[in-house]
Amino acid sequence: MNQAETAGTPDTRDSLVELRDVHFSYDTRPIYTGLSLRVPRGGVTVVMGPSGSGKSTMLNFIGRRLKPNSGDVFFDGIDIDKLSRAEMFALRKRMGMLFQSSALLTDLSVFENVAFPIREHTALPESLIRHLVLLKLEMVGLRGARDLMPAELSGGMQRRVALARAIALDPDLVIYDEPFTGLDPISMGVIVKLIRELNDALGTTSIVVTHDVEEGCSIADYVYLLGGGKVIGHGTPEEMHNSDSEDIRQFMNGLPDGPVAYHYPADPLDQDLFDGGSR
């Protein structure tokens, strides 16, 4: 980031996650051409952008499911690219993930889904695991559904169970990948409320990746807008809504035309119609 880009961004010392000048391509298709951002500790950082802008790819860098072609990714001051496989596996215990599809284990009950990471990563006695699971389910309002199977749940309930599982180990960071997609208005409102309340109650840091402007801004402490392979805007929700940038205004207001043009580049229509093109 240059001086103008970093003005007003969270300080490095207060950042749990930081990406520095990240470049990445899928084959010959560039995704990032110098992405830099910082995620402050203890808050909700919302990352938005059009489809294909690399929002979910960024999450894969944080969990090191992907590595950038160049640039650095830090978690709590640790350069994760320099960690061994065992060290990275241990670091992931400090991260919780809510997948867009919820990704519940279909053959396990609600209780067993939430208990799974606790059993996998700790040696706690079953009596204590039971208490922890019931407490997490109580936090998302589903303690009474503990014996149900995922197929018996609505989409919104599945998302809430997945959230209880994501916070089962009290992680430092909770990552939400498109948490509002496919939900009815009531379920969406519940998830929005839970993200904010759980972040504050547990003292965690949250990254929410979404293209839903209204819901994202309603819970965000800080917002990043991605486009063209880098950050094209950042600030508080109020600053983003009041921005003079055409790129930011187009996305925040859902305008059909602007820097991201409605028409795909093409020859003039009359030339296409009357000059005898091949198709």
The full length of the chain comes to 279
In a domain, 7, yes or no: yes
In a domain, 61, yes or no: yes
Cα–Cα distance, 35 to 23 (Å, whole number): 7
Q: Please tell me the predicted confidence (pLDDT) of residue 264.
A: 65
Q: What is the pLDDT of residues 226-254, one digit of tens each?
A: 988 889 899 999 999 888 888 888 888 87
Q: Into how many domains does the chain fold?
A: 1
Candidates 137, 139, 143, 161; CA nearest to 151 is 161
The answer to whether the CB of 22 falls within 8 A of the CB of 34 is: yes
In a domain, 279, yes or no: no
Query: Edge-to-edge strands of the sheet including 44-48?
Result: 95-98, 173-177, 205-209, 44-48, 222-227, 230-235
User: Strands 173-177, 95-98: parallel, antiparallel or unpaired by DSSP?
Assistant: parallel
Task: Please list, residue by residue across 253-266, b when 16 or more beta carbons sit within 10 angstroms of its beta carbon and e when fewer do.
Answer: eeeeeeeeeeeeee
Q: Which residue ranges of the chain lie beneath pLDDT 50?
A: 1-8
3-state secondary structure the chain: CCHHHHCCCCCHHHEEEEEEEEEEEECCEEEEEEEEEEEECCCEEEEECCCCCCHHHHHHHHCCCCCCCEEEEEECCEEHHHCCHHHHHHHHHHEEEECCCCCCCCCCCHHHHHHHHHHHHCCCCHHHHHHHHHHHHHHCCCHHHCCCCHHHCCHHHHHHHHHHHHCCCCCCEEEEECCCCCCCHHHHHHHHHHHHHHHHHHCCEEEEECCCHHHHHHHCCEEEEEECCEEEEEECHHHHHCCCCHHHHHHHHCCCCCCCCCCCCCCCHHHHHHCCCCC
Q: Please tell me the predicted confidence (pLDDT) of residue 250.
A: 83
- 228 is in which domain, residue-wise? 3-274
Cα–Cα distance, 255 to 252 (Å, whole number): 8
CATH code, 88: 3.40.50.300
